[in-house]
Amino acid sequence: MSIAVVTGAAGFIGSSLSEALLDRGYRVRGVDNLTTGRRTNLRSLKNRDEFEFHEVDIRDKSAMNDLVEGVEYVFHQAAVPSVPRSVDDPITTTDANCTGTATVLDAARRADVDTVVAASSSSVYGSSTGLPKVESMTPDPESPYALSKYYTEKLAIQFSDLYDINTVALRYFNVFGPGQDPNGEYAAVIPKFVQLMLDGDRPTIYGDGEQSRDFTFVDNVIQANIQAAEGSATGVAVNVGCGGQVTINELVGHINDILGTDIEPIHDSPRPGDVRHSHADLKSAREEIEYEPKVDFQEGLERTVSYFKNA
């Protein structure tokens, strides 16, 4: 039975990934310091025999060294995950995301872990012209968060050159799905809008709403993580998106259609650090990790709305 460490296991993606790994027969050690993660995300995991939870900060060197002992794969999801939060508080983001990643990678290589899969982000591309975004483009991180994710993937790749360890970085494009936190100033757009519109409230769009995103349902991201770990790719960063482009205005329209409502958004000024367009080229992901998104945007949105309706 393979043993995996999932950092950020109390988070949106880390908790779903942990469930999927358990379903696949893995033993999972979940690590999280519960800064943005939630205990509710751990509820069903805690009933599973092969899951252990460790309330640990990934910057804690000695705890991380112990936790990766005997582990085959590390799925590094822990991070302070928001662009606007990083603009408000660059030091916290840099510390958790850069020092945290270095600590996780160093523990992994000392313990002879086979593969580390690290979460990067489409934000590394910035507003560089040219769509879709291809991995060969020069990154242009425009926020402390984006820069910390670029550091994450560069360090992961460097480790595969310097040490005897496989590493794959996955550039996630706007992930959404059940369990994502809809609350708070830094909530992601889909859970936030779905929750507001379910309550009959008007969502606020920053800017004209014509900015676009390649929204990616969480199951696709989980599948990419598992294939990256179990496959033979190493020393690469690949896009994990859905291969589409939806504007924020269109997103509001889609949620209205699913809910049978006609709610008009409010428009406010654009936020610093937000990129204009984002759209993933998936050729490299197909070649390197045999990735193919299985759940398209529309189905993912319907499943997400249904989750929030019943939450």
Q: What residue ranges bind ligand NAD (CB under 6 A)?
A: 8, 10-14, 32-37, 57-59, 77-81, 96, 100, 119, 121, 149, 172, 174-175, 188
Of residues 87 and 263, the one with the C-beta less far from ligand NAD:
87
3-state SS, 258-287, equals HHCCCCCCEEECCCCCCCCECCECCHHHHH
In the numeric block, the tokens 């900015």 are attached to 211
Output the six-digit token pair for 80: 């302070």
Of residues 164 and 185, the one with the C-beta less far from ligand NAD:
185
Contacts 24+ apart (CB under 8 A), 197-202: 197/252, 197/255, 197/256, 197/259, 197/261, 197/263, 198/259, 198/305, 198/308, 198/309, 200/261, 200/263, 201/263, 202/263, 202/264, 202/265, 202/266
Tell the smallest beta-carbon distance from residue 218 to ligand NAD (Å). 8
Bridge partners of residue 268, in order along the sequence: 206
Tell the smallest beta-carbon distance from residue 87 to ligand NAD (Å). 15
Q: What are phi and psi of 146, to 5 degrees?
A: -60, -40
Which whole-number Å values give the CA distances from 238 to 2, 44, 117, 276, in the listed order?
24, 31, 11, 21
Helix (H, G, I), strand (E, B) or coil at 12: helix
Residues counted in the chain: 311
Of residues 261 and 307, the one with the C-beta less far from ligand NAD:
307
Tell the smallest beta-carbon distance from residue 200 to ligand NAD (Å). 26
Tell the smallest beta-carbon distance from residue 95 to ligand NAD (Å). 8
Which whole-number Å values give the CA distances from 102 to 13, 56, 194, 261, in the listed order?
20, 15, 36, 47
Of residues 61 and 263, the one with the C-beta less far from ligand NAD:
61
Tell the smallest beta-carbon distance from residue 37 to ligand NAD (Å). 2
Yes or no: say if 304 and 194 are a contact pair by the CB < 8 Å rule.
yes
Tell the smallest beta-carbon distance from residue 127 to ligand NAD (Å). 16
Of residues 26 and 173, the one with the C-beta less far from ligand NAD:
173
Of residues 164 and 240, the one with the C-beta less far from ligand NAD:
240
Of residues 172 and 297, the one with the C-beta less far from ligand NAD:
172
Of residues 261 and 299, the one with the C-beta less far from ligand NAD:
299
Compute how many other C-beta atoms are within 10 angstroms of the C-beta atom of residue 12.
25
Tell the smallest beta-carbon distance from residue 82 to ligand NAD (Å). 8
Compute how many other C-beta atoms are within 10 angstroms of the C-beta atom of residue 188.
17
Tell the smallest beta-carbon distance from residue 262 to ligand NAD (Å). 28
